[in-house]
Structure 1
Amino acid sequence: MSAAAQARGTSSWWKGHAAFLLMVGVWLAWTAGLRPLTAPDEGRYAGVARAMLESGDWLVPRLNGLPFFHKPPLFYWLGAGAMQVFGVHEWAARLPSVLGAWLAAASLYTLLRRHGDLRLARWATLALCTSPFFFVGAQFANLDMLVAGCITATIACAADALLCLDEERPWRIALALAFASAGLGLLAKGLIGVVLPGGVIVLWALLTRRTRVALRMAVWWPGWLLMALVAGPWFVAMQLRYPEFFDYFVITQHFRRFAASGFNNEHPFWFYAPVVLGLCLPWTPWLLLWWRKAAPAPSRGAQGLPLLMLVWMGVVVVFFSLPRSKLVGYVLPALPPLAALVALGLERALAGSPRRAKVLGATGTLAALLCVGGVAAAGHYGTPPDARLQLPAGESVRPGDRVVMLDHYFYELPFYWQLPGPVTVASDWRPAVAQASDNWRKELADAGAFEPVTQAAWLQGIDAQPARICAPGRTWVIGPSNAQLVAPWVLGMQLVTFNTEIAVWRHDGRAGEGPDCLTGHGAPGALPAWSGAS
Structure 2
Amino acid sequence: MACWLRRGVERLGTLPSAWVGLLALLWFALTLGVYPLLIPDEGRYVGVALSMLESGDYLVPRLDGLPFFHKPPLHYWLTALSLKVLGVNFVGARLVPALMAALLIAGMHAFLKRHASRQHAAWTALILTSSPLLFGASHYANLDMTVAALISSCVLLGAHAALQMEQGRAYRLALMGLYVMAGLAFLAKGLIGILIPGGVLVFWLLGRGQWRVLLRLFSWTGLGLLALVATPWMWVMQARYPGFFDYYIVYQHFQRFLETGFNNPQPFWFYFALMPVATLGWTPFLFRRGRGADHTPDGLGAVRGLMLSALLTVLIFFSIPTSKLLGYVLPAMGPWAFFLADGLIRQSQREGEAKVARFAVGSVAVCLTVCLVAVLTMVLRPQVNSQALGRVLAAQYHKGDRIVYLNDYRYDLGFYVPGMSNVSVMGRWDDPEIMHTDSWRKELVEAARFEPHRGAQILIDRPTLRQQLCRDRAAVVWLIGAPDAVRQSQVLNHAQRLYDDQRIALWRFDSDEYELMCGETPTVAQPETSAPPGQ
TM-score strictly above 0.5: yes
Q: Higher mean Cα deviation, 410-419 or 349-358? A: 349-358
* SS at 1:292 equivalent: coil
2:415 aligned partner:
415
2:304 aligned partner:
306
The answer to whether structure 1 residue 189 and structure 2 residue 193 are counterparts is no
Look up the equivalent residue of 1:326 and give its one-letter code.
Answer: K
Look up the equivalent residue of 2:306 and give its one-letter code.
Answer: L
2:129 aligned partner:
129
Q: Higher mean Cα deviation, 368-377 or 477-486? A: 368-377
The answer to whether structure 1 residue 320 and structure 2 residue 322 are counterparts is no
1:57 aligned partner:
57
User: What are the Cα deviations for residues 399-444 of structure 1, in whole angstroms up to 9, with x where unaligned?
Assistant: 1110111111111111112243251111111151432321000000
- Residue 375 (structure 1) shift: 2.8
- Structure 1 Cα separation of the partners of residues 446 and 394 of structure 2: 37
- Residue 202 (structure 1) shift: 0.5
1:525 aligned partner:
none
**1:27-46 map, 5 Å:** 27-46=27-46
The answer to whether structure 1 residue 449 and structure 2 residue 449 are counterparts is yes
* Native 8 Å contact 1:293 1:349 kept in 2: no
Task: Quote the RMSD (CA, aligned, Å).
Answer: 2.3
* Native 8 Å contact 1:265 1:327 kept in 2: yes
1:273 aligned partner:
272
Look up the equivalent residue of 1:429 and give its one-letter code.
Answer: W
**1:155-194 map, 5 Å:** 155-194=155-194
The answer to whether structure 1 residue 486 and structure 2 residue 488 are counterparts is yes
- Residue 207 (structure 1) shift: 1.0
User: What are the Cα deviations for residues 109-161 of structure 1, in whole angstroms up to 9, with x where unaligned?
Assistant: 11101101112101001101111001111110111111000000000110111
* SS at 1:203 equivalent: helix
- Residue 253 (structure 1) shift: 0.9
2:284 aligned partner:
285
2:253 aligned partner:
254
- Residue 490 (structure 1) shift: 0.6
Look up the equivalent residue of 2:237 and give its one-letter code.
Answer: M
- Structure 1 Cα separation of the partners of residues 147 and 266 of structure 2: 22
Q: Higher mean Cα deviation, 127-136 or 224-233? A: 224-233
* Native 8 Å contact 2:406 2:426 kept in 1: yes
- Structure 2 Cα separation of the partners of residues 509 and 421 of structure 1: 20
1:216 aligned partner:
216
What is the number of equivalent residue pairs in this alignment?
506
The answer to whether structure 1 residue 341 and structure 2 residue 339 are counterparts is yes
Rate the CA distance shift 1:459–1:394 in 2: closer, same or farther, 3 A: closer
Q: Percent identity?
A: 40
User: What are the Cα deviations for residues 256-281 of structure 1, in whole angstroms up to 9, with x where unaligned?
Assistant: 11111222221111111222221320
Rate the CA distance shift 1:451–1:184 in 2: closer, same or farther, 3 A: same
- Structure 2 Cα separation of the partners of residues 451 and 492 of structure 1: 33
* Native 8 Å contact 2:494 2:513 kept in 1: no
* Native 8 Å contact 1:196 1:315 kept in 2: yes
1:72 aligned partner:
72
* SS at 1:254 equivalent: helix
Rate the CA distance shift 1:517–1:312 in 2: closer, same or farther, 3 A: farther
Rate the CA distance shift 1:292–1:468 in 2: closer, same or farther, 3 A: same
1:206 aligned partner:
206
2:8 aligned partner:
none
- Structure 2 Cα separation of the partners of residues 422 and 463 of structure 1: 19
* Native 8 Å contact 1:391 1:497 kept in 2: no
Look up the equivalent residue of 1:332 and give its one-letter code.
Answer: L
The answer to whether structure 1 residue 496 and structure 2 residue 494 are counterparts is no
- Residue 233 (structure 1) shift: 1.1
* Native 8 Å contact 2:263 2:438 kept in 1: yes
- Aligned mate of 2:510, from 498, 508, 512: 508
The answer to whether structure 1 residue 97 and structure 2 residue 97 are counterparts is yes
2:327 aligned partner:
329
* Native 8 Å contact 1:385 1:501 kept in 2: no
Q: Higher mean Cα deviation, 119-128 or 26-35? A: 26-35
* Native 8 Å contact 2:402 2:422 kept in 1: no
Q: Higher mean Cα deviation, 367-376 or 393-402? A: 393-402
* Native 8 Å contact 1:475 1:509 kept in 2: no
- Structure 1 Cα separation of the partners of residues 208 and 46 of structure 2: 43
Look up the equivalent residue of 2:103 and give its one-letter code.
Answer: L
User: What are the Cα deviations for residues 424-472 of structure 1, in whole angstroms up to 9, with x where unaligned?
Assistant: 1111111514323210000000001000111012111122212323421
Rate the CA distance shift 1:322–1:477 in 2: closer, same or farther, 3 A: same
The answer to whether structure 1 residue 242 and structure 2 residue 241 are counterparts is yes
- Structure 2 Cα separation of the partners of residues 16 and 211 of structure 1: 33
* Native 8 Å contact 2:266 2:322 kept in 1: yes
- Structure 2 Cα separation of the partners of residues 120 and 393 of structure 1: 53
Look up the equivalent residue of 2:19 and give its one-letter code.
Answer: A
**1:421-440 map, 5 Å:** 421-430=421-430, 432-440=432-440
Gaps of 5+ in 2: 1-12, 522-535
* SS at 1:333 equivalent: helix
Look up the equivalent residue of 1:75 and give its one-letter code.
Answer: H
- Structure 1 Cα separation of the partners of residues 461 and 148 of structure 2: 40
Rate the CA distance shift 1:16–1:518 in 2: closer, same or farther, 3 A: farther
Indicate the structure with greater helix content. Answer: 2
- Residue 39 (structure 1) shift: 1.2
* Native 8 Å contact 1:42 1:141 kept in 2: yes
- Structure 1 Cα separation of the partners of residues 190 and 18 of structure 2: 31
* Native 8 Å contact 1:391 1:496 kept in 2: no
Look up the equivalent residue of 2:348 and give its one-letter code.
Answer: L
- Structure 2 Cα separation of the partners of residues 419 and 255 of structure 1: 37
Q: Higher mean Cα deviation, 282-291 or 52-61? A: 282-291
Rate the CA distance shift 1:94–1:516 in 2: closer, same or farther, 3 A: same
Rate the CA distance shift 1:348–1:269 in 2: closer, same or farther, 3 A: same
* Native 8 Å contact 2:386 2:410 kept in 1: yes
- Residue 518 (structure 1) shift: 12
Rate the CA distance shift 1:326–1:369 in 2: closer, same or farther, 3 A: same
Q: Higher mean Cα deviation, 506-515 or 415-424? A: 506-515
**1:348-497 map, 5 Å:** 348-351=346-349, 352-379=352-379, 383-392=383-392, 395-430=395-430, 432-470=432-470, 471-497=473-499
* Native 8 Å contact 1:296 1:348 kept in 2: no
User: What are the Cα deviations for residues 339-364 of structure 1, in whole angstroms up to 9, with x where unaligned?
Assistant: 00000011001124323433333321
User: What are the Cα deviations for residues 222-277 of structure 1, in whole angstroms up to 9, with x where unaligned?
Assistant: 11111111111111111111111111111111111111122222111111122222
Gaps of 5+ in 1: 1-12, 520-534
Rate the CA distance shift 1:517–1:339 in 2: closer, same or farther, 3 A: farther
Look up the equivalent residue of 1:312 and give its one-letter code.
Answer: A
Q: TM-score, normalised by structure 2?
A: 0.90
- Structure 1 Cα separation of the partners of residues 423 and 98 of structure 2: 30
Q: TM-score, normalised by structure 1?
A: 0.90
